[in-house]
Amino acid sequence: MKNIVKGLTLALALVLVFTSCAKQPTQLMDQAKAAIQSVIDAKGGVYAKDELNKLQGDLQAALDAVNAQAKKFFKKYGPAKEMLTKVIADADSVKALIPGRIAEAKAAAETALNEAKTAVEEAKALLEKAPKGKGTKADIEAMKADLGGIETALADVNSALAAEDYFGAKDKAVVIKEKAAGITEQINAAIAKVKGR
Please report the pLDDT score of residue 6 as a whole number.
Answer: 59
pTM attached to this predicted model: 0.73
CB atoms within 10 A of CB 151: 15
Q: Where are the domains of the chain?
A: 2-101, 102-196
In angstroms, the CA 142 to CA 137 distance is 9
Class of domain 2-101: mainly alpha
From the list 39, 63, 34, the residue with the least C-alpha distance to 51 is 39
DSSP string, 4-31: HHHHHHHHHHHHHHHHHH----HHHHHH
Give one word for 56, left, alpha or beta, with left for phi > 0 and alpha for psi -120 to 50.
alpha
Q: Per-residue pLDDT tens for 1-17?
A: 566 655 556 555 555 44
In angstroms, the CA 169 to CA 190 distance is 32
Q: What are phi and psi of 90, to 5 degrees?
A: -65, -40
Q: How many CA atoms lie within 13 A of 59 on its CB side?
A: 22
Under-50 pLDDT residues of the chain: 16-17, 19-21
